[in-house]
């Protein structure tokens, strides 16, 4: 789908939160939305800074500069108001397209509430970019990563890692908030001269540090396995020490599974607790079983099978029961959580 087609389609379904959207339909419109809103914000910020500079110059006695600064301030307010209306009008179809995009990978549109946290856009960008539904749910990812707490070897899929990363960051955010509140309270009590509060303040610092380490270790282990899934070494996580390296790692963690990973050092059969397997790659090619001449002849010419000696011929597995949407009657594929046509949730 082209840019023009995407914009036309999203405006035709302006407030349609049901149904599905392809990646190209969503991302072309999302690109347009972000460019327009960013341009409006940049223009308003430039005029505001220019207005402030003229007003400061006018305070030194330059009446013309002061008048110019006041006029620019008025223009800035008008542009800000118009820009807010435009961005709001563009945000509604963006939100609707995001809901349909999540439906396309069998996820609920309620996950878009993560936009309110700001940092939640990281996970939304990953989900909006998926081709197929995630193979791990939120609870499954948490259970899997905690059960492999110190397992830096092996592999992890994108959904497993990113669900657990979301869980870890949300938990750390809540923990940090509690840490700051309690630390301020204990510090204020400790400065009054009480030795007990001073001791409690020190113990609280140790508890927070220990809890943070306990949460970060399984995340680093999952990150190492995620890199292995793309046939990269887990030692690349050392880039976290540079700060800006998290951008590079976020890109690598979002890479698709390498289809030739069965021939890499990071196979599912790895049992070592090291970051990388010490085993050499093994040949995973499976030879085809030999077929006897009698069986081969029977396949080519079924008449060679004697009717008096019935053969054990496997029968085809029965077709699964076909399901249809109760709202629009559309045929549903196996495992669907949302109807691809109207987008309503499917009762499993």
pLDDT tens by residue, the chain, 348 residues: 788 888 888 888 888 888 888 888 888 888 888 888 888 888 888 888 888 888 888 777 777 888 888 888 888 888 888 888 888 888 998 989 888 888 887 778 888 888 887 777 877 887 787 776 666 777 888 888 898 988 888 888 888 888 898 889 888 888 899 888 888 888 888 777 777 888 888 888 899 999 999 999 999 999 999 898 888 888 888 888 888 888 888 888 888 776 554 444 544 444 333 333 434 334 334 333 444 444 334 344 444 444 444 444 444 444 445 576 776 666 676 666 666 666 666 765
Give me the phi and psi of 324, to 5 degrees please: -130, 150
Query: Residue 277's pLDDT is what?
Result: 40
d(CA 266, CA 114): 33
Query: How far, in Å, are 87, 114, 174, 197 from residue 202 at the CA level?
Result: 48, 35, 20, 9
The tokens for 341 are 């046509």
SS3 category, 296: helix
Query: Residue 126's pLDDT is what?
Result: 76
Domain chopping of the chain, boundaries = 3-128, 138-263, 322-348
The tokens for 216 are 């970060």
Cα-Cα end-to-end distance for the chain: 32
pTM of the entire predicted model: 0.49
Query: Residue 305's pLDDT is what?
Result: 42
Query: Residue 220's pLDDT is what?
Result: 92
d(CA 231, CA 143): 24
């Amino acid at each position: 789908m082209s840019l023009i087609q995407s914009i036309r389609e999203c405006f035709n379904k302006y407030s349609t939160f049901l149904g599905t959207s392809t990646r190209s339909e969503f991302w072309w419109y999302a690109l347009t939305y972000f460019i327009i809103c960013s341009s409006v914000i940049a223009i308003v910020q430039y005029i505001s800074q220019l207005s402030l500079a003229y007003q400061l110059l006018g305070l030194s006695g330059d009446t013309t500069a002061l008048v110019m600064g006041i006029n620019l301030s008025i223009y800035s307010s008008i542009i800000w108001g118009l820009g807010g209306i435009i961005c709001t009008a563009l945000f509604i179809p963006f939100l609707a397209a995001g809901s349909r995009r999540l439906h396309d990978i069998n996820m609920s549109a309620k996950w878009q509430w993560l936009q309110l946290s700001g940092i939640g856009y990281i996970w939304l960008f990953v989900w909006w970019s998926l081709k197929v539904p995630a193979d791990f749910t939120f609870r499954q990812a948490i259970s899997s990563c905690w059960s492999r707490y110190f397992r830096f070897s092996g592999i992890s899929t994108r959904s497993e890692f990113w669900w657990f990363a979301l869980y870890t960051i949300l938990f750390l955010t809540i923990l940090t908030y509690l840490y700051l509140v309690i630390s301020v309270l204990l510090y204020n009590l400790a400065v009054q001269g009480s030795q007990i509060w001073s001791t409690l303040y020190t113990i609280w610092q140790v508890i927070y540090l220990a809890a943070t380490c306990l949460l970060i270790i399984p995340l680093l282990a999952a990150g190492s396995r995620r890199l292995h899934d793309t046939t990269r070494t887990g030692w690349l996580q050392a880039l976290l020490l540079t700060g800006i390296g998290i951008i590079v790692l976020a890109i690598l963690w979002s890479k698709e599974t390498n289809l030739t990973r069965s021939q890499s050092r990071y196979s599912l059969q790895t049992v070592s607790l090291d970051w990388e397997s010490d085993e050499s790659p093994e040949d995973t090619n499976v030879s085809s079983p030999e077929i006897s001449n009698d069986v081969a002849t029977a396949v080519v010419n079924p008449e060679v099978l004697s009717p008096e000696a019935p053969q054990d011929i496997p029968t085809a597995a029965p077709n699964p029961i076909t399901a249809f949407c109760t709202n629009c009657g559309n045929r549903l594929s196996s495992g669907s959580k949302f109807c691809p046509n109207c987008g309503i949730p499917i009762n499993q």
